[in-house]
A and B are shown apart, each in its own frame.
Chain A
Amino acid sequence: MVNWANFVSQLFNGLALGALLALISSGLTIIYGTLGVLNLAHGAMFMLGGYAGFAAYRATGSFVVAVIAGTLFLVVFGMLIERILIRHFYKRPHEDQLLVTFGLGIVLVEVVRLIFSSQSQVVPPPQIFAGITNMHFMFYPTYRLAVVGICAVALLALFLVLYRTRLGLIVRAGIEDSVMVDSLGINVDRVFMVVFGIGAMAAGFAGIVNAPVVSLTPEVGEAILVQTFVVVVIGGVGSFPGAILGGLISGEIISLTSMVDPAYAYVMLFAAMTLVLMLRPHGLLGVKGRE
């Protein structure tokens, strides 16, 4: 009874959804892994990147400028927030960190609503990617294909930074043992600031890149945030490859479940997350002992 064309197209769509989730989640997992802070404002940062890009688009009409603007804005914003707010919470209990980022998320959404109103804003995709591609087993929006590519490139860039540069080495060392990194004389303050900026940037970049797909409203980050949790838990908190794997798996879960019963598509994610937490608590690629 399975409609094979539908199945394959959903499989592919899950990949596309997953690539985006992987990118956003990698930001969250890097921040948590290094700083030990679960950034509940991550969804809001995704949204913020979209709006920053939208503002740039409105001013210049160029999608490329929009992407650069969205990304840069979030790098700076992320670093500022770390400096002004997050830094004061490292020594405080975990719950305080959750609370303050939760509050920050709400504030960001409402500020954006104040400036841009609740009406949804459209950012059209760049001309070269507009339209539909005939992929024989289905018709797929060209821009979504492009998004898969863009996310892959971004993840590759992140990978190179993390695994091939000195900064990346410090970040990964910090994920392992930030106290030790500090004792080695490395300016951990600066590293943390940069890491938060990178994590925010990943979310912001994803936000503007995804804007042509979903259109922007102040609420666009809320659902993403919860899905990001799921990805991070499935993949393993603090693990960059885990975020990628978790993202892809989550994307597929959403797509394939919608084939069976569309209403359950997102709830199945939570069921999967709970399952992973029960059976393999550190996630598929997570490091044991990181709680």
Chain B
Amino acid sequence: MQDRKPNNQSRRDFMRTGLGIAGALTLPTGMVSSAIAAESQPPIGTWPAGAQGDSVFIGVAVPRTGTYAVQGEDELKGWQLAVEHINEGHPLIRKISPKTKKGVLGKTVKLGVADSAAKPNEAVQAEQRFITENKAILMTGSTSSAVAVALNKLAQREKVLYVSGISGSNDTTGKDCVRYGFRQCFYGQTAAAAITPVIVKAYGKNKKAAYMTPDYTYGHTVTKSMQEALAKDGWTSVTDQVSPLGAPDFSSYLLNVANSGADVLINVNWGHDAVLSTQQAKQFGILDKMKLVIPYQIPFLAPEVGGNLLAGVYAATDFWWTLEDRYPLAKMFVESFEKKFGHKPEWGANNAYMSFALWAEAVEHAGTFYPPDVIKSFEAGRIIESTVGPVHIRGADHQLVRPVIIVQGKKASDMRNKEDFWTVDEVVPGEGLMQTPDAFGCNLGSYT
């Protein structure tokens, strides 16, 4: 944002040429071009100011009060663990980002946390402050997709990278996608595509489904994705009960569901709404008459709902700790998380950890914090080892191509410890689940 002085300019030119020659002789070609390119980069966003010291700053806007506070705390722990591991060069991070030694490009990572209360306005306010005061070079945070979309736009405007937290709406890497934003976790489209074959196999074709949808775009897109996917197997939607966010009582909606004659209840509600609607569904005897399906799982749903109501229920999720039996990285992750925090991580924490790990990998690979280069590093689509096996970013819409985990609730008698709520039924590879890049109208913006 400040103009360089003229004498610096000529000195830079000299150095540039000199380095260029030296570089051409010693470095692999890819590195040469990027090194040369790095020299002719005007300041952009918080670069280079935010990367000049011996530490870099990441701004986190996460709900610590309000409806999603429980999920927000879980995510925060994931980020905190990731930062700790990155700074000390922990073996787990090294497996995901082999070039990492200590910190990112040798710089310590610092975290700043603000309470967004799941409100886009608060999140934007906090991140703007992190950008101007702390020169944040990365932003993260969302549990509500509305926040993710808002921060996407902010990232593009301020030219500061953003990796989303939990965000289930198709729009985040769909019509609201941006060049400066990336998403690690699964979303409506992939959840629906993954879980549909499972429930059709379990419950049959041509069934009647009742939907409970929270009244905002996450809810509407997931419901729509489910309806479209199931229609291919002859399923019909007999009712769609749309409830306001934070509805205090679902009885009127549940009565409508009870009287709808449905075979399956598909509950798209999230956060506390999911907990309450499920508990009340039990109270109204719906769970005895219908099967329950949770297409987009919520962290801590099982312990909050209680009463073993989720036994036998299919859900699609991003991560579950028993994956430690399948993936060595998952095992490392679960162990270090449990050591630090005293309980097993939920998928919010995993998502948080992985997004930072992926970012660290992208930066190490780019060799610079210069945003357009980091973006290109992400978009290169390298296969990276993660807690759910090999994954890669799809350059066209910045969505991570990764598997969706189908889990099924365990009966209380089968639980081996008090956190053993789900069995992993199937790990569905991501490639076949995703829509074509332009299906949701994604139009990534410019690099600068």
Known contacts A119-B304, A141-B284: does B255 contact A110 (CB below 8 Å)? no
- Docked Cα-Cα span, A132 to B255, in Å, equals 13
Contacts of A117 in B (CB 8 A): 70
Residue of A nearest to B250 (CB): A214
* Contact code string A13-41 (vs B, CB < 8 Å = 1, else 0): 11011000000000000000000000000
Contacts of B66 in A (CB 8 A): 118, 219
8 Å CB interface, A215-242 against B: 215, 217, 219-220, 222-224, 227
Contacts of B249 in A (CB 8 A): 17, 213-214
Q: Are B285 and A215 in contact (CB under 8 A)?
A: no
Q: Indicate if B241 sits at the interface (CB-CB under 8 A).
A: yes
Interchain CB contact (< 8 A) of A262 among B70, B253, B272, B284: B253
Contacts of B276 in A (CB 8 A): 120, 214-215
Q: Are A215 and B283 in contact (CB under 8 A)?
A: no
Q: Which of A89-97, A158-166, A252-260, A270-278 contacts B (4 or more CB under 8 A)?
A: A252-260
Q: Are A6 and B242 in contact (CB under 8 A)?
A: no
Q: Are B69 and A220 in contact (CB under 8 A)?
A: no
Q: Are A118 and B252 in contact (CB under 8 A)?
A: no
Instruction: Tell me the minimal C-beta distance from A29 to chain B in angstroms.
Output: 20
Give the interface size class of chain A: 35 or more
Contacts of B255 in A (CB 8 A): 6, 9-10, 13, 138, 255
Q: What total of A-B pairs shows CB separation below 8 Å?
A: 107
Known contacts A122-B307, A139-B285: does B252 contact A258 (CB below 8 Å)? yes
Q: Are B248 and A214 in contact (CB under 8 A)?
A: yes
Give the interface size class of chain B: 35 or more
Q: Are B256 and A259 in contact (CB under 8 A)?
A: yes
- Docked Cα-Cα span, A13 to B256, in Å, equals 11
Q: Are A118 and B65 in contact (CB under 8 A)?
A: yes
* Contact code string B3-21 (vs A, CB < 8 Å = 1, else 0): 0000000000000000000
Q: Indicate if A282 sits at the interface (CB-CB under 8 A).
A: no
Q: Are B258 and A139 in contact (CB under 8 A)?
A: yes
Contacts of A213 in B (CB 8 A): 249, 280, 283
Instruction: Tell me the minimal C-beta distance from A120 to chain B in angstroms.
Output: 5
Q: Indicate if A290 sits at the interface (CB-CB under 8 A).
A: no
Residue of A nearest to B215 (CB): A263
Q: Are B256 and A258 in contact (CB under 8 A)?
A: yes
Known contacts A118-B65, A124-B307: does B246 contact A138 (CB below 8 Å)? no
25 CB-based A-B contacts, threshold 8 Å: A6-B256, A9-B258, A9-B259, A13-B251, A14-B252, A118-B65, A119-B304, A122-B306, A124-B307, A132-B283, A138-B259, A139-B284, A144-B251, A213-B249, A219-B67, A223-B247, A223-B248, A254-B252, A258-B241, A258-B252, A262-B252, A263-B242, A263-B243, A263-B244, A266-B244
Binding site for A on B (CB under 8 A): 65-67, 69-70, 73, 215, 241-244, 246-249, 251-253, 255-256, 258-259, 272, 275-276, 279-280, 283-285, 288, 300, 303-304, 306-307
Binding site for B on A (CB under 8 A): 3, 5-6, 9-10, 13-14, 16-17, 110, 113, 117-120, 122, 124, 132, 138-141, 143-144, 213-215, 217, 219-220, 222-224, 227, 254-255, 258-259, 262-263, 265-266
Given contacts A10-B252, A141-B285, A265-B252, 17 further A-B contacts (CB under 8 A): A3-B259, A9-B259, A10-B255, A13-B252, A17-B249, A110-B65, A118-B65, A118-B69, A122-B279, A122-B307, A124-B307, A214-B276, A215-B279, A217-B272, A223-B248, A262-B243, A263-B243
